[in-house]
Chains A and B, each alone.
Chain A
Amino acid sequence: MKSADLKLWVAVGLVGLVCLAWLLVAGLLLWAVLDPEDWATVTEALGGRAGLLLFLWALALFPVYAVINALIENHLRAPARLAEQARLRLESGDSRSIEPEGSTEVKRLTGVINDAIEQRETLIARMDERVREAARRTEQEKARLAALMSELTKSVVVCNLDGRILLYNNRARLQFKRLSQAGKVTGGSELIGLGRSIYTVLDRQLVAHALENVQRRLERGAASPSAQFVTSTRSGKLLRVQMAPVRAVDEDGQPSAERMTGFVLLTENITEDMRADAEKNRLLAELTEGSRASLANTRAAIEVLEDPAVDAPLREQLLAVIGEEVRHLSDRIGELQRSSSEALRSRWPLEDMLASDLIDAAISRIESELPMRASRAGDIDSIWLRIESFSLVQGLVHLAECLHRDCQVRWIELRLSSHKDRAALDLVWTPDPDADSPLDKSWESESIAGGDQPLAMTLKEVMERHGGDCWMDKETDDQSARCYFRLLLPLAAAQEELPPATFQRHEGRPEFYDFDLFQPGERSQQLDDCRLRELSFTVFDTETTGLNPAGGDEIIQIGAVRIVNGKILTGECFDQLVDPQRSIPRAGIPIHGITPDMVRGQPPITEVLPAFHAFCADTVLVAHNAAFDMKCLELKQALTGLVFDHPVLDTLLLSAVVQENHDRHNLDDLAERFGLTILGRHTAIGDAMVTAEIFLKLIPLLAERGIHTLGAALEASRKTFHARIKY
């Protein structure tokens, strides 16, 4: 029974009882005040009518019921219904008005609630309009950025702090294609792609060093805290890279003064520039130094000839010298004129850097890589150098390594002094008196090793690039007979440091920063603990000459597509035919559609697999019936030296995990069950694409079974019956 009904019956019962009690009291009063005769008359008059009395009592309860019911309806039931209706509007977002009912007060309250509903609707509509407007602006900004980036003549790549590529322009794609060793096969997509690591192209240490410099400049409040460096790629090309920070945005929407969330790289292929630069330097040296020598010889001969005491044979000799030197000069000028058009303008990108930053970086590298201690001396905090810091630090580490290797030196001092427009950076040490003299060594002419990527330059060349020089000598006024290796470096004009607030207040926020690209990644976690939704995958498929790879069947096509942040990157596919260097059985041609003519002239597997390996870098492999495809790759390991040791997920096994009641898990069945259309079934890229779509559908189904991470997915796959299939 409802609470209001119970209250109604209780109230009617109470009124009835009160009436009965009142009748009893009235009877008792009569009995007390009346004579016995009168009381007998009354009882006689009422005698036999008790039933009538009870009937009248019960009859009187009906109007009582009606009155109480009306009161309860208006003052209890109506507010309760109003509360329910209001709660429904609140929770469901229903915007219909509530019908007023009940007492006047309740009706007034209903009116107020209806007003609130209407107000809420207006607010929601306004908010929707603003969201639509913001979304439209974001789309416009995206379009503007896309237009801007496509027009840029420089390659632009934006990365987060993990080095993952978040954005790149077409120019960058074309440049990376040219840098790619397998550009013909992959179009450079193994190097550049959303979510890929920039470290496949650039040395990690080099980027870390540049990031450190940018961070230091940010902390110091520099107005434009960028850094530059030159690096060689694996394919031997030279890249000039400029790095600028992407600053974190504070809660108040202002760019942070010190915190970064990523970086922008502007890259330029300067291989040709550098070659031309070297040629230009050679020509300049020829022109200046070569001509100086000839002029000196001529001038000296003429000045001697002015002496009347010069005898005839010497006179002849001197005239011959003049003739020869003048011819020599003419020839040289002719040659220079022919070749000077080749000379280009580029130089190493030298940048201003505080000497203490360079020395601190060198000391930290030396102490971490060698069993040596290093200290600093001199006025290093006020001297600004104009240098290419990465090659210089590499050079200093190289020198320290040579000292340790050849002279068993364990302690060095990095000392700096400035003279006019140059700074002398000395690496000072105390030689072992019993050891050979270090002055005989020519460490500056050795190739600089160090790190994963040798610089392929000597310290001498590095110094020449700086317009400086280097040499080794003994201290002249030092009782301890110390030696030093001096690097003569160009000085920069001292920089004025601005307080951080200067640029924080006035620097506008570029509009195209309005992308939410810089969510911190979780790459540092163990891979197995990573959530499937956050991982990058390469979904691939191979077509082969037959079904027995161990028996000599070969790959004739590889198709692959990547999934990054839950999206299939259809624009960065890997789709390559392979010359199997054997016949293709006729029986298979109707299935895969690949004829011998199609594979003729295509690259062999030894060329395709390195490109595919690079395409898969840093991803989890996914294939349907992966055991077969992995077997094909594994069989080529000895030939290519490439190990595909990525984690592998199999959509066949994962489907068996989430759809235990189905017996069939082949690609066609799965596509049908998930309502997917297969375009190009039995082409590698077509199958890879549909496998990728199936995989994306499987992820939420796995999550429903509590399988969220890669480790859990691998474990569940292992447990399924189909895991026992072996090829």
Chain B
Amino acid sequence: MTRKILIADDEPNIVISLEYLMKREGYEVLVARDGEEALAMIAEHEPDLLLLDAMMPKKTGFEVLQAVRGQQSAMKIIMLTAKGRDTDIEKGRALGADDYVVKPFSTRELVDRVGRLLGLSADDNPE
């Protein structure tokens, strides 16, 4: 079964690259441009993993995180953020993010982290 990944980020310039990379790895990719759209798509598509930007319009990544964690979902979450302060990382982890990646990041490493969280080795075929 194809694993679904939801990319929630309001920056189209990063979404282009992330979308390509995740698709190349064989994941089904969905894109949300703000927090509210992300929550709606999570409810509708039940993705396996959420790449969540911290700073988004309508609802911030942290608010999305709290809403999602309240639903007892099994979805894995990686926070992507330009905020590199310790307190942001601690806040993300405390609110239930599985991983926290500070921009700018290595796309190779991000792909590895996604694979690890989805229980796949880098060489496994996700399909």
Shortest distance from the beta carbon of A421 to any chain B beta carbon, whole Å: 8
How many B residues face the partner with a CB closer than 8 A? 32
The segment from B32-40, B42-50, B80-88, B119-127 found at the interface with A is B80-88
Bound-complex Cα distance A249 to B96 (A): 57
A304 engages B107 (CB within 8 Å): yes
**Contact code string A293-319 (vs B, CB < 8 Å = 1, else 0):** 101111111011001011000100110
Q: Is A292 close to B, CB under 8 A?
A: yes
Contact present for A468 and B87 (CB under 8 Å)? yes
Taking the closest CB of chain B, its distance from the CB of A582, in whole angstroms, is: 60
Asked whether A486 is an interface residue with its Cβ less than 8 Å from the other chain, the reply is yes
User: How many angstroms between the C-alpha atoms of A198 and B84 in the bound complex?
Assistant: 43
Q: Tell me whether A488 and B87 are in contact (CB under 8 A).
A: yes
A726 at the interface (CB under 8 A from B): no
Report the Cα distance A310→B16, complex, angstroms. Answer: 12
Is A133 among interface residues, defined by CB-CB distance under 8 A? no
Instruction: Say yes or no for A439: interface residue by CB 8 A criterion.
Output: yes
Q: Report the minimal beta-carbon distance from B90 to chain A, rounded to whole angstroms.
A: 7
How far is it, in angstroms, between the C-alpha of A523 and the C-alpha of B104 when the chains are bound?
64
Q: Is the CB of A293 within 8 A of B103?
A: yes
Interface residue from A290, A292, A301 paired with B17 (Cβ < 8 Å): A301
Q: Are B104 and A296 in contact (CB under 8 A)?
A: yes
Task: Indicate with 1 or 0, residue by residue over B67-94, a CB within 8 angstroms of chain A CB atoms.
Answer: 0001000000000101111111011001
Whether, in the assembled complex, B41 has its beta carbon less than 8 Å from a beta carbon of chain A, the answer is no
Interchain nearest-CB distance for A291 vs B (Å): 8
A297-B11 in contact given A292-B84, A469-B91, A488-B91 (Cβ < 8 Å): yes
Chain B at the A interface: SS class: helix
B80 to chain A, nearest CB (A): 8
Contact A289 B13 (CB under 8 A): no
Cβ 8 A contact of B87, one of A307, A309, A469, A474: A469
Q: CB-CB < 8 A to B107: which residues of A? A: 299-300, 303-304
Q: Which residues of the partner chain B approach A304 to less than 8 Å between Cβ atoms?
A: 16-17, 20-21, 107
Please list the 5 inter-chain residue pairs (A to B) with the smallest Cβ-Cβ separation, ordered nearest first: A296-B103, A300-B17, A292-B82, A296-B104, A295-B104
Given contact pairs A292-B104, A300-B21, A474-B70, a sample of 19 additional A-B residue pairs in the complex whose CB atoms are under 8 Å apart: A288-B84, A289-B84, A292-B84, A293-B14, A293-B82, A298-B104, A299-B107, A300-B18, A303-B21, A303-B106, A304-B17, A321-B13, A422-B90, A439-B70, A467-B85, A469-B87, A469-B90, A473-B94, A488-B90
Chain A residues with CB under 8 Å of chain B are 288-290, 292-293, 295-301, 303-304, 307, 309-310, 314, 317-318, 321, 324-325, 419, 421-422, 439, 467-469, 471, 473-474, 486, 488
How many whole Å from A308's CB to the nearest CB in chain B?
12
Report which of B18, B88, B103 forms a contact with A295, defined as CB distance below 8 A: B103
Q: Quick one: closest B residue to A317, CB to CB?
A: B16
In this assembly, does B2 line the interface, its C-beta being within 8 Å of a C-beta of chain A? no
* Across-interface contacts of A300 in B (CB, < 8 A): 14, 17-18, 21, 104-105, 107
Q: B80 — nearest CB in chain A belongs to which residue? A: A296
Per the bound structure, the CA–CA distance linking A293 and B53 in Å amounts to: 10
Q: Chain B nearest CB: distance from A311 CB in Å?
A: 10
Q: Bound complex: CA of A278 vs CA of B104, how far in Å?
A: 25
Task: State in angstroms the CA–CA spacing of A321 and B19 once bound together.
Answer: 14
CB distance from A667 to the nearest CB of B (A): 69
B40 to chain A, nearest CB (A): 17
Contact A419 B90 (CB under 8 A): yes
B29 within 8 A of A: no
Known A-B contacts A292-B102, A304-B21, A439-B66; A469 and B13 likewise in contact (beta carbons under 8 Å): no
Instruction: State A447–B55 Cα separation when bound (angstroms).
Output: 22
Q: Is the CB of A297 within 8 A of B83?
A: no
B95 at the interface (CB under 8 A from A): yes
Among residues of B, the one whose C-beta sits closest to the C-beta of A328 is B13
Contact of B14 among A296, A422, A486 (CB under 8 A): A296
Which residues of chain B are near A473, meaning CB under 8 Å?
66, 94-95
Which B residues are CB-close (under 8 A) to A307?
24
Complex: A474 Cα to B91 Cα, angstroms: 13
Which chain B residues border A486 with CB–CB below 8 Å? 94
Q: Which of B17, B87, B90, B91 has the most CB of A within 10 A?
A: B17
User: With A422-B87, A469-B88, A488-B90 as given contacts, are A301 and B95 in contact (CB-CB < 8 Å)?
Assistant: no
A325: B residues at CB distance < 8 A = 13
What residues on A are CB-neighbors of B55 within 8 Å? 289
Q: Are A471 and B18 in contact (CB under 8 A)?
A: no
Min CB distance A442 to B, Å, is: 9
Question: Chain B nearest CB: distance from A714 CB in Å?
Answer: 61
> Nearest chain-B residue to A305 (Cβ)?
B17
The distance in angstroms between the C-alpha atoms of A466 and B103, with both chains bound, is 24
> Which residues of A sit under 8 angstroms from B70, Cβ to Cβ?
439, 474
The answer to whether B104 and A289 have CB atoms under 8 Å apart is no
Which chain A residue has the least Cβ–Cβ distance from B54? A289
Q: Tell me the complex Cα distance, A83–B70, Å.
A: 104
